[in-house]
Structure 1
Amino acid sequence: MTRITVYMTGGIAAYKAVEAIRDLEKKGHEIRIVMTKNAEHFVTSNTLAALTKYPVLDDLWSKENEASIPHVHLACWTELALVLPATANFIAKMAVGIADDAASTTILATAAPKLVVPAMNDQMWFNPATQRNLSFLRKNGVQIMDPATGMLAEGYAAKGRMPEITDIVKWVEDFLKQKKLLQDKTIIVTAGGTEEPIDPVRFIGNRSSGKMGIAIATAAASLGAQVKLIYGNVTTTLPRNSKIDLISARSSEDMLQAIEKHFKQANILIMAAAVADWRMQKVADHKLKKQVQQPTLNLTLVKTTDILATIAHHKQENQIVVGFAAETNDLMQNAEKKLQSKGADMIVANDVSQNVFGNDQDQVTLLDKDGTINRWARMSKIEIAKKLLKIVASKL
């Protein structure tokens, strides 16, 4: 049984959501309802209160709520938030963080996983603003169910119709099963690029944004794992999630120490960070100044510790280690060599020669030590993360 809060917003499909609520209750879930005022034009709060045997939250300022903070109480109670149906307006509020009524305020205070079932006119669905908002929500771990193509309220067939109730309920049930896929597992994920200091001002770095590692950490948390996200220099927003511990590690040595500290208690290590291959033999204790008669600057570099090989060669049989091979040439040859030499269970190979750093999408190939090679189609990094984690979970 899961404690589900259903957010009903002001679309004509709201009347169909009543059946979904009833079916979810039949599955054994405990349901609470939050409604927007616009939703009450299609379904009354009395109907939903009778169905759930619990008051509907639609007004933060009603007499019965004067002495309480209902949106916070409900947000803390919630184990899964389901927006059904989701209007373009409510999706925009979620993306921007607007909290101007009971529904938007409650969902903003909710840390539980969020599932969104959009239903709207096709022109609103395909509007660039709506697609931008949906993309932002997806990148932040919100699950979006694509609307169906069918007859709309306007009298013509197009994409935007709310999916069938049986499909919605199955989607929710499948998510809840996946949510337990990595339950009670601890995963270490590394992200971003390391910085190897030259002097107090300068460093040796790379163009890694950290998006891939952060996507993996976010997806792992949504599957029930406790995540240690060890990050270097990142150019994207770090996740804020109670199941993700953020650990800063700027240099390759810092990252190695952080991994060694937590690896014994971990089930999985996924090395998505771009770790520097070289560091200064001796870091200057002062800023290296440019001299007038100095046409060149010579730096003496030494190899950094190979973190993936160091950790993978000391892992236990019940631990899984996944590495990444970011290459600009000879992708498969280099990835296969890395898989053989590092001791990892899997290598994710990606060609970074063409607009990958900082991009939301990628095309990767997964190499397994059992000899299996799977080339995946180009997809979003969050989709890659979910697909990778399902495969890793199946091997535990």
Structure 2
Amino acid sequence: MFLIYSYAEDALILSIFVLLFYGGCTVAVAKNATFPALLVFGDSIVDTGTNNYIPTIIKCDFEPYGRDFQGGKPTGRFSNGKVPSDIAGEIYGIKELLPPYLDPYLQLEDLLTGVSFASGGARYDPLTAKVVSVLSLTDQLQLFMEYKEKIKLALGEEQIAAFISKAVFFICVGSADIVNTYYATMLRSFEYDIDSYTNLTVSYGAQFFQELYRLGARRVLVLGVPMLGCIPIQRTLGGGARRVCADKQNHAALLFNSKLSSQIASIKNNLPEFKIVYFDTYYPFLYILQNAEKLGFEVANRGCCGAGNIEVSILCTRLHDLETCKDASKFVFWDSYHPTEKTYRILTNMVLNEHPQELL
């Protein structure tokens, strides 16, 4: 189900008029001329508040989420602080915080430097986005097309293509396909084995990337999935009494990543001007887990919120204050599914520095 959301159009048009008229017919974009904007698609890892504005139970706009964010207020980010969308904006010198596109208070300059279309709970597989009432990748593409029309008012028909081609597109999705759609809910496991299901999800991914290309994207970075069997909730559900890493989920993650990487290489061969780059997260995340103590972490097998074994989203609330850790920087995970800001910062820096020139 896709719902149409709109801004206060009069305010947006007025801001465009003021910017154009009083700014000598120039448009303010990011200082980083190479990458004028960051546009993010995906799931809860990169959702900066989209789900606040849609009717879904997959939310985190309540305490203790955002405890270490600016002002200590929950913003809809699935962590104690910033998420990779924000950190990528910092790394590329574009902006400090990446707002959700559906935020009704966005100004023109917010749009021109980038937004997140990501929705917590999204998958490559469109089936379960409908089940949990979140925005599928198709829905996110529709919002992107709406976004293009809005900024066209400021940039003009001739400039919009160049602007979109220089923007960085950041894609992070796929984890929920494996751990939720396939293993937890078993919505697909009766008709597919894991090999055929990863083929299916990667084929959906290929369609999505090619649609981005058709819509003008030329610089796209795609994250693989991390060691899914080692996130706390998977240890709880599939790791036995000792809560070890769940082998099936880790194997599935490796299988998916291998196919995704190969598919992206094939797309690049067919579209040489398409700078689409696969970024591995599995082994960087393994490094963090294996070197947790060296990196300043004290706990790597459970989340900070509550007991940290199953709590996530609506199960992670102020009711768990007495159990929730006092210092999230000592934990690799914030809840049973999502890392802390500290982990995200280490991981995002490791990953984005892996291929620093390939998007240029």
TM-score after normalising by structure 1:
0.29
TM-score after normalising by structure 2:
0.31
Bigger strand fraction: 1
Bigger helix fraction: 2
Larger-Rg structure? 1
Which structure ranks higher in relative contact order (CA pairs < 8 Å, sequence separation ≥ 6)? 2
